[in-house]
């Protein structure tokens, strides 16, 4: 989590009115930063992290910063309300909890610095592409076992650009990759079924407190619901139906919310893997999201 924490520390150096993005991988894959910048003149600061809930991030922003820009906060059913016992949910909660303790950790800060310098100058030091272990995992291909709910290695379909802010998936035309992504997502859903979600009333109460703090200093929180498809949509519709989650959150918090189904363009976006937009879809989604956030433009 040192990467995320260091990225979060750099938020403190951004202008107070910077647009900040909180959420899971749908935001990291589904927001096209260049498109956003072209349409707004400013680049958003993306703190999205795969598998993470946006709620601890929102809380940290509310209590540990004095920022007053727009906050785009993803609501993604399972991830947002995931039980903090789930490893990928626990780590963001812990990272946020330790933010102030780690702020003065020389080890953490310097690791980030050296890592960035070295990886920027020596491509071979990217373990996701050149680690012999990852290369083996990539090239020794085996089909998933029946009903497999295994730990997942992210196939080489994920690409990073610009200090990992623009992350995108491609090449899902390969059935092997698609099977790997499906297997990975089934495992994620199994985790989220295994542990009961957070209590919605408690979560909303916390969100209202955080939003109140942000509003008092002139900021605005906007909730965003990204497109889903296939078994992911079926699962989220069943476990986190819109009328019991999204609608209640919007009503209780009084915040604006961009739900992909409410927009005639984004409602037809179909993430091929069920959960993440492809680069060309991310551009479309981002344009529509900008129109929603800045309606007068």
Partner 1 sequence: MLFNSVIFILFFLVVVIVHYLPINWKLKKIHLLLASYFFYAAWNPPFVVLLWISTCVDWVAARIMHRQSSRGKRKVLLMVSLAANLGMLSWFKYGTLFMESFSELVAQFGWQWTPPNFDITLPVGISFYTFQTLSYTIDVYLKRSKPESSFLDFALFVTFFPQLVAGPIVRPNQLIPQFKSPKRATANQFAWGVMLFVWGLFQKSVLADAILGPVAGHAFGLAKEMLVFDAWFATLAFSGQIFFDFAGYSLCAIGIAYCLGFSIPNNFNSPYAAFGFSDFWRRWHISLSQWLRDYLYIPLGGNRKGTHRTKINLMLTMLLGGLWHGAAWRFVVWGAVHGIYLLIERLTFGRYVNHGKISPSARIGGSILTYLAICVTWIFFAAPTWESCLISFRSLIGWTSNPIPVIKTIEIVMITPVIVAMLLGHGYMRNRKLEDEVQRIPNGILAAIFSIILAVVILTGGSDSAFIYFQF
Which residues of the shown chain bind partner 1 in the complex (CB under 8 A)?
Answer: 1-3, 85, 87, 97-98, 101-102, 104-107, 110-111, 114-115, 118, 124-127, 130-133, 136-137, 140-153, 183, 187, 190-191, 194
At its nearest, how many Å lie between partner 1 and the CB of residue 103?
Answer: 10
80 in Cβ contact with 53 (< 8 Å) = yes
Exposure string over 35-55, b if 16+ CB within 10 A, otherwise e: bbeebbeebbbbbbbbbbbbb
Pick from 274, 196, 265: nearest CA to 233 = 274
171 in Cβ contact with 177 (< 8 Å) = yes
Residues making up the chain, counted from first to last: 297
At its nearest, how many Å lie between partner 1 and the CB of residue 253?
Answer: 26
At its nearest, how many Å lie between partner 1 and the CB of residue 131?
Answer: 5
Here the tokens at position 177 are: 């990759």
At its nearest, how many Å lie between partner 1 and the CB of residue 5?
Answer: 10
Pick between residue 63 and residue 222 the one whose CB is nearest to partner 1: 63
Pick between residue 16 and residue 124 the one whose CB is nearest to partner 1: 124
Pick between residue 108 and residue 207 the one whose CB is nearest to partner 1: 108
196 in Cβ contact with 83 (< 8 Å) = yes
At its nearest, how many Å lie between partner 1 and the CB of residue 239?
Answer: 17
Separation of alpha carbons 20 and 293, rounded Å: 13
20 in Cβ contact with 31 (< 8 Å) = no
Here the tokens at position 58 are: 């929102």
Pick between residue 85 and residue 265 the one whose CB is nearest to partner 1: 85
Pick between residue 150 and residue 205 the one whose CB is nearest to partner 1: 150
């Amino acid at each position: 989590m040192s990467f995320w924490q260091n990225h979060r520390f750099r938020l403190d150096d951004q202008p107070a009115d910077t647009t900040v993005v909180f959420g899971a991988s749908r935001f990291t894959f589904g927001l096209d930063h260049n498109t956003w910048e072209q349409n707004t003149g400013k680049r958003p600061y993306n703190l999205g992290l795969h598998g993470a809930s946006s709620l601890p991030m929102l809380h940290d922003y509310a209590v540990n910063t004095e920022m007053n820009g727009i906050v785009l906060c993803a609501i993604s059913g399972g991830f947002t309300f995931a039980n903090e016992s789930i490893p990928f949910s626990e780590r963001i909660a812990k990272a946020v909890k330790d933010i102030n303790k780690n702020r003065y950790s020389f080890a953490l800060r310097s690791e980030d610095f050296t890592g960035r310098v070295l990886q920027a100058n020596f491509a071979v030091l990217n373990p996701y592409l050149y680690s012999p272990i990852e290369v083996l995992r990539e090239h020794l291909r085996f089909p998933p076992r029946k009903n497999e709910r295994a730990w997942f290695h992210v196939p080489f379909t994920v690409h990073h650009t610009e200090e990992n802010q623009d992350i995108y998936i491609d090449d899902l035309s390969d059935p092997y990759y698609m099977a790997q992504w499906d297997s990975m997502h089934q495992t994620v859903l199994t985790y989220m079924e295994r542990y009961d979600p957070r209590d919605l009333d408690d979560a909303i109460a916390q969100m209202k407190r955080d939003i109140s703090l942000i509003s008092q200093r002139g900021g605005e929180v906007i909730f965003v619901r990204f497109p889903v498809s296939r078994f992911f949509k079926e699962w989220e519709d069943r476990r986190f139906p819109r009328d019991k989650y999204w609608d209640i959150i919007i009503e209780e918090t009084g915040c604006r919310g961009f739900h992909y189904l409410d927009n005639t363009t984004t409602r037809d976006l179909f993430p091929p893997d069920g959960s993440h937009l492809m680069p060309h879809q991310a551009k479309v989604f981002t344009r529509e999201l900008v129109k929603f956030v800045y309606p007068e433009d």
